[in-house]
Amino acid sequence: MGSSNNSQMHDYNDLYKETQGHGDSQAQNAQEKVDSELYDNKTSSFVSSYVEQRTQGQFEELLAHARNHCELLLKSIDVKGAVHGRIKDPESLRKKLKDLKNDSSLKLNFRDWVVKGNDIYEHPDMGDLAGVRIGLYFPTDVAKVEKKMKESFKQIHSFGTVTEGRLPTSRETDVRQYGRGRWYTVDANNAIEFWNHSGYESWQMVVKWKDPLGFSLESVRTGMHENFKSLKFEVQVGTVVSQAWAEVQHNIIYKKPDDILATSTMKRMIDAINGLAITTDIMLKELARSLEDAKKEAEDAKQKHQQTFQSLKTFVNELAVLDTDPNAANLAELSNNGVKLFYTMLRNDPKLSDKYFQLALKDPDSVAFSYISE
C-alpha cells in the first residue's frame, strides 16, 4: 500500500513538473513574441525618422564636415591618402537592423538594447550612418592616423582591426580537401566558400566632435532629428590598394550587377587579386621602412659633415697661429670664407709647404674632404 502511494506521488510530481514546464515554455514564447513585435516597431520608427528628407540632408552636411576635417588631418601630419565618405542607404539600414535582431555574437546584444528602451542611435553598432573611409598609400601610416584621430575627436567606440568575415579553417586531415583554401565564408544561404587569402581589413572606430562646436556644426546638431543628436561618424582606415580590391569584390559578389551571379572562375580571380593586394601592402610597408632608413642616414651624414666643417675651421685657425709662414694669414682669412677653398689651395698651390697638406690628412675628419671639395 505504502509502495503504491509512493508511486502515485511520483506520478503526480512528474505531471506537475511537466505541466509547469509547459507553462513556462508558453510564457517564454509569449514574451518572445511581444519582444519581437516591440523590436520591429521601434526599429521601423527609427528607419522612418532616418529617411526623412530633413534628416538625410543633415547627415549629408555632417558627412561633408567629417570628410573635410579628415583631409586636413592627413595634411597636418604629412600623410598621403584619399578620403571618401557616404551616408548609409536606407535599405542597407533596414537589412542591418533585421540581421541584428537575431545576432547573439555582439558583446552588447542589440535586440536586448532596443527592447529595454535604450536609444537605438547610441548603440556602438549604429555609428556608421555617416561613414568616412581613409585610404593610405603606406600601411605604416595607419597608426599615425589613428593617433591623430583620437587627439582631434572623442572616440566613442573602437572596433580595432576589422575583417570582412572570413574565418580561418581548421587543420585539414582529409587529403582530398588539400589546397581548398585557408579561409572560408558562409553566405546567406549557408553555402561555404573557401579562399586562399584573408580578404579586406581595416582599423575601424566611431568618433564624434568635441564640444564646443563651431557655428556650422552646431547648426547641424540643432537641425537634426531628435533621434540623431550625437554628431558621430565611423572611420575606416586602411590602404588604397586593399580598399580598391574590397570595392571590386563587394560590387561583383554582393551587389550582383545586372543580376549576374559570380562564377567560380570570377571568385578565383578575385581571390588571386586579393593575394596581389596583400603582397603590394607588404612591399609598400617595406618601402616605407627603407625610406625612413634613408632619411636617417642622410640626416646622420649631414650632421657628420657639419662636424667635419667645424673641425677643419678650428684646424685652420690653430695652424695660422702656430705657423710663422707668410701664407698663414691667408689661411686664417680663408677659414672664414669656407673650408672648400682652403682645401683647394692645399691641393693645388705648389707654393704652400707640403707639411700643411700632411697635417690636414692626419685630421680625424679628413675622410670627408673629398665630399666637401666636390
Average per-residue pLDDT for the chain: 80
Structural domain boundaries in the chain: 12-168+175-183+200-243, 295-373
Q: Are 283 and 275 in contact (CB under 8 A)?
A: no
Quote the CATH superfamily of domain 12-168+175-183+200-243.
Beta Polymerase, domain 2 (3.30.460.10)
Q: Pairing mode, if any, of strands 201-208 and 232-239?
A: antiparallel
DSSP symbols for 84-122: EEEEPPHHHHHHHHHHHHT---SSS-HHHHHHTT--GGG
Q: Are 136 and 79 in contact (CB under 8 A)?
A: yes
Q: What are phi and psi of 261, to 5 degrees?
A: -85, 135
pLDDT at res. 372? 40
Q: pLDDT tens digits, residue range 44-93? A: 999 999 999 999 999 999 999 999 999 999 999 999 999 999 999 999 99
Q: pLDDT tens digits, residue range 112-128? A: 999 999 999 999 999 99
pLDDT at res. 43? 97
pLDDT at res. 12? 46
Q: Are 353 and 330 in contact (CB under 8 A)?
A: no
Q: Is 183 helix (H, G, I), strand (E, B) or coil?
A: strand
Helix ranges (H only) for the chain are 2-50, 53-76, 90-101, 110-115, 142-152, 215-223, 240-249, 264-322, 327-337, 339-348, 354-361, 369-373
pLDDT band at 350 (very low <50, low <70, confident <90, very high): low
Q: pLDDT tens digits, residue range 292-346? A: 899 898 888 778 767 766 766 666 565 555 555 555 555 555 445 445 555 555 5
Which of the pair, 2 or 38, is modelled with greater confidence? 38
Which of the pair, 129 or 316, is modelled with greater confidence? 129
Q: Does pLDDT of 361 surpass 80? A: no
pLDDT band at 369 (very low <50, low <70, confident <90, very high): very low
- Contacts of 202 by beta carbon, 8 Å cutoff, 6+ apart: 133, 161, 162, 236, 237, 238, 242, 243
Which of the pair, 290 or 340, is modelled with greater confidence? 290
Q: pLDDT tens digits, residue range 20-54? A: 555 678 888 888 999 999 999 999 999 999 999 99
pLDDT at res. 199? 81
Integer Cα distance of 180 and 178 in angstroms? 6
Q: pLDDT tens digits, residue range 184-208? A: 888 767 778 888 777 888 999 999 9
How distant, in Å, are the alpha carbons of 24, 129, 148, 330 from that of 29?
Answer: 9, 33, 49, 105
Which of the pair, 248 or 309, is modelled with greater confidence? 248
Residue 204 identity (one-letter amino acid): Q
Integer Cα distance of 170 and 194 in angstroms? 12
Peptide bond into 124 cis (omega under 30): no
What letter would DSSP give residue 260? P
